[in-house]
Amino acid sequence: MLRHRRARALIELVLTIAVALGLALAVQAWAVKPYKIPSGSMLPTLEIGQRVLANQMINHPSVGDIVVFHPPAGADPRPAACGNPDQGTGHPQACDKPTARPSIQTFIKRVVAGPGDVIRIIDGHVYRNGMPEKDGYTIACGAGPECNFPKAIKIPADDYFMMGDNRPDSDDSRFWGPVPDSWIIGVAFFTYWPPDRIGFS
């Protein structure tokens, strides 16, 4: 009798572990996914090597959210290619149209403008619908050409304009355009590594 009880308890334990692992894998596949920060483009907010969790259930991010996404394929070449054929070197406006296909790369940046917003960028600061971004989290950009796009652009419907917090050293929507909603993977909401940075975003 004791042997049967032990065998039953062991079976229940194995089944419980199997169900827990299945649920964990399902959550990772459909709801939450981990990402490692590969570059310094989001300094000082996110450090190289920092690990975050992204909520994949959020379909429409808000301005200010940090998101994981596939950039346009125009982000792949160096220099980056804008989907607007009239966009050239020294053009006074940021890229206003992505290339037609997404890249297989995965980026993480901050949403600075959403569908229908009108923006221009002065010294790395975003002016959205005439109002300056509250951007105390950024690294100062300065007067270089990568920091100044004074001609206003309008973000297309269902697209989001992404920029790194490290404004002088970020490969972002300024150069390869807005990101369609369908290319967004999720919103970063929690840091789980390193230990001294554990917490919600």
> Out of 41, 103, 170, 173, which one is annotated catalytic?
41
Phi, psi for residue 160 in degrees, rounded to 5: -135, 140
Tell me which long-range contacts 122-128 makes (C-beta under 8 A, separation of at least 24): 122/148, 122/150, 123/147, 123/148, 124/148, 124/167, 124/168, 126/163, 128/63
For residue 126, give both structure tokens: 């975003």
Query: In 3D, which of 68, 58, 164, 53 has the Cα closest to residue 107?
Result: 68
The catalytic residue among 103, 109, 170, 173 is 109
| Residue 134 annotated among the catalytic residues of the structure | no
Q: What is the rounded distance in angstroms from the CA atom of residue 188 to the CA atom of residue 201?
A: 7
Name, in order, each residue with C-beta under 8 angstroms of 193's C-beta and a sequence gap of 6 or more.
49, 50, 51
- Give, as one character, the DSSP assignment of residue 59: S
- The tokens for 57 are 């259930």
- Active-site residue 154, yes or no? no
- Residues involved in catalysis: 41, 109
